[in-house]
């Protein structure tokens, strides 16, 4: 894939780069989507406020970068040990409100999350359908850290054409007993699987996952918003 | 695979069921390992104490099952909304200390986590190596819920022959800038990928993941213990 510029037609780029078929799950790293949507900020245009300057000093971070994080955060959950854990406007809990300088288009720019990643996924799905005729699903992903475990895994922040959760609750197990708590975050497992197929230093924003056609739906479905645990149901905030 | 009985030689069963080659990652659902290791308890043998009886009443759960959860928990982090979130002896944070009745070998039995899943993975790796000659990796997995997001994903609770975390911190990104926080929980992404290949109501405890030979090592490596975030570094307990 070429470097993605603001206004780029991602669906056209993907359709031109890979042959797509019914049942494919097209997994797109959010940075490609954000760049195409112009969700990039130049640090030269950012005037950091007192909180950003204080956090920047404490964490040895560029205060302008911290200001962008605060701008993108609906809430700061923790600011300790050099990390700022936030709730984004979408409800995602992640470090730095998803604001990231790596793989940014230019020096001194940072990439934000898409404004509405589920809408981005739906738009891209429609664009791919139009160009290829294929009945497929689109996931938009980012790498999120986790409570309790080291490291990041890719998760879905946008989805269209695939139910992000597969509900086995109440269904019988292999010996006919009811499974009480089996509710699989399918979209996140697919996001992580796709991440295994690419390097972090290569320009491979798109991975096509095959063999999951049983999960691809006619409608767009509820999107990755369905993966967000409501604040009042969350025991760990 | 047949139903796994206590004392079963899992390596022999797997080696007989699938042809293995260098670079394969053999992903085993922990229940198969636990059953082979006799990590099963009969509820008829359990005498619930006052705390288990109280929690059982509150959550409409069998108090004997709750007692087994408390026996397996090093610490109870939360007991709310019908879930008991625990820290296990291994340091894993998960619901019910990993104790589960679904897919248990018999009515009124529950399956526990292996005592030392990394040791189980090392033993199985050695057994598979001996039988097949293949240089491969073994992961042992369970389905864990997460903070902040709905649903469970499969994660690695035991590992041998594969570094569970891939460290890109300090390495350059696609445009040569240093990546500050990229530390990928590879073993968890592989565990989730493997889960996509099986149903929850079928007896498919083993999935072989191919194409990851670059991650398979000569030595057993640090095991899934390396994925556990130390309590004092964890902002969300």
pTM: 0.95
Looking at the domain A1-36+114-227, which fold is it?
Answer: 60s Ribosomal Protein L30; Chain: A; (3.30.1330)
CB contact under 8 A, B152 and A181: yes
When the candidates are 3.90.1660.10, 3.40.50.720, 3.90.226.10, 3.30.530.20, the CATH number that belongs to B40-112 is: 3.90.1660.10
Q: Tell me: the pLDDT tens digits for B34-90?
A: 999 999 999 999 999 999 999 999 999 999 999 999 999 999 999 998 889 999 999
Predicted pLDDT of residue A167: 87
Say whether A168 and B226 touch across the interface (CB within 8 A): no
Torsion of CA A114, A209, A146, B230, to 10 degrees: -150
Chain-chain contact of A154 with B189 (C-beta, under 8 angstroms): yes
Residue showing tokens 């592989």: B190
Alpha carbon of A92: minimum distance to chain B alpha carbons (Å): 8
Predicted confidence (pLDDT) per residue in A108-159, tens digit = 999 999 999 999 999 999 999 999 999 999 999 999 999 999 999 999 999 9
Please tell me if residue B55 touches chain A, with a CB cutoff of 8 Å.
Answer: no
Q: Where are the domains of chain A?
A: 1-36+114-227, 40-113
Whether the complex's predicted ipTM surpasses the cut of 0.90: yes
Q: With a CB-CB cutoff of 8 Å, which residues 133-172 of chain B face chain A?
A: 143, 145-155, 164-165, 168, 171-172
Cβ contacts below 8 Å, chain A against chain B, sum to: 214
Contact A183 B151 (CB under 8 A): yes
Q: Which of A159, A192, A230 to mutate to test the interface with B (most CBs of B within 10 A)?
A: A192
Put simply, the chain B residues between 212 and 231 with a CB less than 8 A from any chain A CB are 212, 226-229
Interface contact B6, partner A, CB < 8 A: no
The mean predicted confidence, pLDDT, of chain A is: 93
DSSP B30-84: HHHHHHHTT-EEEGGG----HHHHHHHHHHT--HHHHHHHHHHEEEEEEEETTEE
Nearest to B86 by CA among B62, B64, B69: B69
Say what the pLDDT of residue B85 is: 96
Touching check for A234 and chain B: CB below 8 Å? yes
Rounded-to-integer distance, Cα B51 and Cα B76, Å: 12
Residue A203 pLDDT grade (very low, low, confident, very high; cuts 50, 70, 90): confident
Output the pLDDT for position A178: 61
Q: What are A159-182's pLDDT values in tens digits?
A: 999 999 998 877 766 666 666 568
What is the DSSP-derived secondary structure letter of residue B1?
-
List CB contacts (< 8 A) between B103 and chain A. Answer: 173-175, 177
pLDDT band at residue A82, thresholds of 50, 70 and 90? confident
- Measured between CB atoms, does B1 come within 8 Å of chain A? no
Query: Which of B150, B185, B212 has its CB closest to that of A185?
Result: B150
DSSP string, A56-116: HHHHT--HHHHHHHHHHEEEEEEEETTEEEEEETTS-EEEGGG-B-TT-SSTTEEEPPPS-
Q: What does the alpha-carbon distance between residue B141 and residue A65 come to, in Å, rounded to a whole number?
A: 38
* B92-105 tens-digit pLDDT: 999 999 999 877 77
Chain A interface includes B174 (CB < 8 A): yes
Is some CB atom of chain B closer than 8 A to the CB atom of A101?
yes
With contacts defined as CB-CB under 8 Å, which chain A residues touch B104? 175, 177
* pLDDT reading at A103 higher than 80: no
Q: Is the pLDDT of residue A96 over 80?
A: yes
CATH number given to B1-38+114-228? 3.30.1330.100
pLDDT above 90 coverage of chain B, percent = 82
pLDDT of amino acid A206? 95
Residue that the structure tokens 């569970």 belong to = B164
Q: Is A173 on the interface with B (CB under 8 A)?
A: yes
Interval B3-17 mean pLDDT: 95
The rounded distance, in Å, linking the Cα atoms of B234 and B228 is 10
Q: Which chain A residues contact residue B197 at CB under 8 A?
A: 211
Assigned CATH topology for domain A40-113? CofE-like fold (3.90.1660)
Q: Which of B149, B180, B236 to mutate to test the interface with A (most CBs of A within 10 A)?
A: B149
Distance from CA of A182 to the nearest CA of B (A): 7
Residues of chain A with Cβ-Cβ distance to B186 below 8 Å are: 151, 196
Mean pLDDT of A74-94: 95
Q: What local confidence, expressed as pLDDT, does residue B179 receive?
A: 60
3-state SS assignment for residue B120: helix
Chain B residues lying within 8 Å of A169, measured CB to CB: none
Q: By C-alpha distance, which of A208, A220, A214 is closest to A186?
A: A214
More confident residue, B49 or A2: B49
Residue in B182, B196, B202 nearest the CB of A174: B202
Q: Is B185 on the interface with A (CB under 8 A)?
A: yes
- Model pLDDT, residue A105: 73
Give the whole-angstrom CA distance, residue A84 versus residue A76. 7
């Amino acid at each position: 894939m070429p470097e993605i510029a603001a206004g780029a037609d991602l669906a056209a780029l993907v359709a031109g780069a890979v042959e797509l078929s019914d049942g494919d799950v097209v997994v797109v790293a959010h940075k490609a989507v954000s760049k195409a949507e112009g969700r990039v900020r130049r640090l030269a245009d950012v005037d950091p406020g007192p909180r950003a300057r204080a956090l920047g000093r404490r964490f040895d971070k560029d205060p302008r970068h911290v200001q962008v994080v605060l701008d993108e955060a609906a809430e700061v959950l923790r600011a300790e040990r050099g990390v700022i854990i936030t709730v984004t406007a979408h409800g995602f809990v992640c470090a730095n409100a998803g604001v990231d300088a790596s793989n940014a288009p230019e020096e001194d720019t940072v990439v934000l999350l898409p404004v509405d990643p589920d809408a981005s996924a739906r738009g891209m799905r429609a664009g791919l359908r139009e160009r290829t005729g294929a009945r497929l699903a689109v996931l938009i992903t980012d790498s999120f850290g986790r409570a309790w475990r080291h490291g990041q895994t890719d998760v879905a922040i946008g989805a269209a054409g695939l139910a992000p959760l597969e509900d086995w609750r109440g269904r019988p197990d292999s010996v006919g007993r009811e499974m009480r708590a089996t509710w699989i975050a399918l979209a996140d497992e697919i996001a992580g699987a796709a991440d295994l197929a690419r390097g972090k230093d290569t320009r491979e924003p798109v991975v096509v996952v095959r063999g999951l056609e049983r999960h691809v739906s006619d409608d767009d479905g509820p999107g990755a918003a369905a993966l967000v645990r409501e604040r009042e149901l969350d025991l760990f905030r």
